Amino acid sequence: MNDTQINNRQRNILAFLYNNSQSSRVEIATSLEDYKGSRITIIRDLNHLIKLEWVEQSGGGKYVKYSLKKGKELLIPVNLEQYFTKKSDMRNIRYPKFNIKLVNKLSELFSPKELKLFEQGKTKLKEKFKKTDSSLLRRELERFTIELSWKSSQIEGNTYSLLETEELIKNKKQAKGHDKSEAIMILNHKNTFDTILAKKDSFKEINIADVRAIHTELVRDLGITTGVRESGVGITGTKYLPLDNKWQINEALKKLVNQTKNVQSVPEIALIFLSMLSYLQPFNDGNKRTSRMISNAILIANGYYPLSYRSVNEVEYKKALIIFYEQNNLFHLKRIFIEQQKFAINNYFI
């Protein structure tokens, strides 16, 4: 659902019902401390949310109760600023450990209107590759690669600027005042994206070997162990704990790959890998960058615009991931995914 279809009071109603199923209208109205409305206003809000198929009602008259519609918890709008006013130790974490059942719920993530955006981008990209001079295409791919390598590395804490990244990729000149590992991380992104472009047809359907190969290339020469991790791992900023058993991790990875084979929508598959590889954390390090590259490999292989994450706020991106880990709520990560598709359509191959 497009979050512009609902106002702040309606968002708060959804957030209340997320934790308080089978609530009366009075209970809902009482919860809206900062967004109070008249009885008629609350009824209108609830009817609007029912029409959007986010809320359902049971009973009748003064006994009517409201709940989130089954399966909608995944995508209800959550107030990020409000959620992160509490430190990780104080937050009510709904899923403190990996939820193996989550992958089964990841379906019909996009509305027809949202899917239309991706299809329009695909059509535009196809026409551009037909009509644009090959040398201009190479230059534009180079620009995209630089911006992706810079921003994806920045999300991981890399301190290279965009101009320093451009100089590194174009002229192999490392910037002064930076650790050598930062240059290696950026060049690994560039080389991985080059591999994806060269072998794009092989990524139309992702397998476990693809995930491992992309990870290996991204962490090359960074002192990071490759292969599925064999022990537990903590994540900065959250008490969520991924699986800590190699065999369980392998099974979860296998289930993820197999489950996506049943999904028809390519953008949906790309979003599932973006979110679930980060959530599963199958490797000792490099999981988020692997998820972004696998997601892009899927988009490129099927003719869609890849995402550079050029305009993403890295703190907001990390918060979107943490709320997915802790609450299994995909709303903000999906929002970022759509925003970056719009950005790609409007800024690359124009």
| pLDDT tens readout for residues 156-175 | 999 999 999 999 999 999 99
pLDDT at 72: 80
Asked if residues 247 and 231 have their Cβ atoms less than 8 Å apart, the reply is: no
Provide the whole-model pTM.
0.89
* Percent of all residues in the chain with a pLDDT value above 70, rounded to a whole number: 98
Quick one: which of 214, 175, 182 has its CA closest to 197?
214
| pLDDT tens readout for residues 237-284 | 999 999 999 999 999 999 999 999 999 999 999 999 999 999 999 999
pLDDT at 298: 98
Instruction: List the structure tokens of 226.
Output: 């490759």
Asked if residues 77 and 220 have their Cβ atoms less than 8 Å apart, the reply is: no
Domain boundaries, the chain: 3-77, 102-347
pLDDT of residue 201 exceeding 70: yes
Asked if residues 145 and 193 have their Cβ atoms less than 8 Å apart, the reply is: yes
171 vs 30, more confident: 171
Arithmetic mean of pLDDT, 223-243: 95
Alpha-carbon span 94 to 101, nearest angstrom? 14
Arithmetic mean of pLDDT, 288-313: 98
DSSP-derived secondary structure letter, 344? H
CATH topology of domain 3-77: Arc Repressor Mutant, subunit A (1.10.10)
Q: What does the DSSP assignment read for 293-314?
A: HHHHHHHHHTTPPP---TT--H
pLDDT at 73: 82
Give the largest CA-CA distance in the chain.
Answer: 73
How far apart, in Å, are the Cα atoms of 94 and each of 32, 44, 97, 236, 288? Answer: 22, 30, 9, 18, 22
In single-letter form, the type of residue at position 148 comes to: L
Alpha-carbon span 24 to 66, nearest angstrom? 6
pLDDT of residue 4 exceeding 70: no
Query: Which H, E and C letters describe 162-179, residue by residue?
Result: HHHHHHHHHHCCCCCCCC
3-77 matches 102-347 in fold: no
pLDDT at 20: 82
pLDDT at 218: 98
CATH topology of domain 102-347: Fic-like fold (1.10.3290)
Alpha-carbon span 240 to 218, nearest angstrom? 25
Q: Find residue 66's DSSP bridge partners.
A: 23, 57
User: How big, in percent rounded to 5, are the helix, strand and coil portions of the chain?
Assistant: 60, 5, 35
Asked if residues 69 and 54 have their Cβ atoms less than 8 Å apart, the reply is: yes
Lowest mean pLDDT among 3-7, 81-85, 232-236: 3-7
Name the region of 286 (left: φ>0; alpha: ψ -120 to 50; beta: rest).
left
Arithmetic mean of pLDDT, 319-346: 97
Average pLDDT of the chain is 93
Lowest mean pLDDT among 130-134, 146-150, 189-193: 130-134
pLDDT of residue 1 exceeding 50: no
Report the length, in residues, of the chain.
Answer: 350
| pLDDT tens readout for residues 212-224 | 999 999 999 999 9
How far apart, in Å, are the Cα atoms of 156 and each of 49, 83, 105, 265, 306? Answer: 38, 23, 28, 29, 19
